[in-house]
Amino acid sequence: MGKVYAEIPSNLQGFIERQHIFFVGTAPLSGDGHVNISPKGLDTLRILSPAEVAYLDLTGSGVETIAHVRENQRIVLMFCAFEGVPNIVRVYGRGSILEPGHDGFEPLVARFPSRPGIRAILHIAVTRVSDSCGYAVPRFEFVEERDQLLRWAEKKGPQGLARYRVEKNERSIDGLPGLPSVAPVDVFDGDDRGSTR
């Protein structure tokens, strides 16, 4: 059955990198605050080392993950096999937020496909990895990525995205600080650098 690891073992790295979707879980320190789970796709994850993972955070209507990580750093990523051999992998860690202009942002963003609407990179120092059977997870067939978010961000442009973030991303639903108002950054240049899928 399930095993626990201190970092990502090589036999699980390939499994993680093959998944088309993963889920991010965070929670505020307050017992009254809302726990958050977000699905992620679009080739936005990179395993930097067995003890280090990062993913692109694209502009969206909420900012819960960023607000929770900013408050307490706790984060877990979950990967489920919807095809092939059943498996579930959870990667726990301490997260940090690299926004455009941060010293580590540019070298790291170069490892991903270029995307419109990038608002941050979530960097995770891995503290625990576990796998389990996933026997009850149903099978689904991957058809294609949805591109609506990318088209929406491209249509809004850097200035429109900056305004949207001021309206929607400054505070979490519990009032925790999210993203500060910053000048717009557009790192989209139309290529697909760094893609591994």
Q: Is residue 189 part of a domain?
A: no
| Residue burial 159-186, b: 16+ Cβ < 10 Å; e: rest | eebbebbeeebeebeeebebbeeeeebb
C-alpha span between 13 and 35 (Å, rounded): 27
Q: Report residue 121 as tokens.
A: 């990179």
**136: buried, middle or exposed (CB in 10 Å: 19+, 13-18, 0-12)?**
exposed
Q: Is residue 175 part of a domain?
A: no
CATH number, domain containing residue 17: 2.30.110.10
- C-alpha dihedral (53, 122, 134, 86), degrees to nearest 10: -50
pTM of the model: 0.88
Q: What pLDDT score was predicted for residue 31?
A: 86
Q: Is residue 193 part of a domain?
A: no
Q: Is residue 183 part of a domain?
A: no
**31: buried, middle or exposed (CB in 10 Å: 19+, 13-18, 0-12)?**
exposed
Q: How many CB atoms lie within 10 A of CB 3?
A: 10
Q: Report residue 118 as tokens.
A: 């990038």
> Over its length of 197 residues, how does the chain's per-residue pLDDT go in tens digits?
689 999 999 999 999 999 999 999 999 998 899 999 999 999 999 999 999 999 999 999 999 999 999 999 999 999 999 999 999 999 999 999 999 999 999 999 999 999 999 999 999 999 999 999 999 999 999 999 999 999 999 999 999 999 999 999 999 999 999 998 654 444 444 444 444 44
Q: Is residue 116 part of a domain?
A: yes
Find all residues with CB under 8 Å of 149, minimum gap 6, and list them.
42, 58, 60, 117
Q: Which domain holds residue 47?
A: 3-137+145-168
Cβ pair 91, 126 in contact under 8 A: yes
Q: Is residue 179 part of a domain?
A: no
Among candidates 143, 186, 147, 180, which has minimal Cα distance to 165? 180
Residues in the chain: 197
- C-alpha dihedral (64, 65, 66, 67), degrees to nearest 10: 50
Q: Is residue 86 part of a domain?
A: yes
Q: Report residue 64 as tokens.
A: 């819960």
Q: Is residue 110 part of a domain?
A: yes
Q: What pLDDT score was predicted for residue 194?
A: 43
Q: In the chain, how many domains are there? A: 1
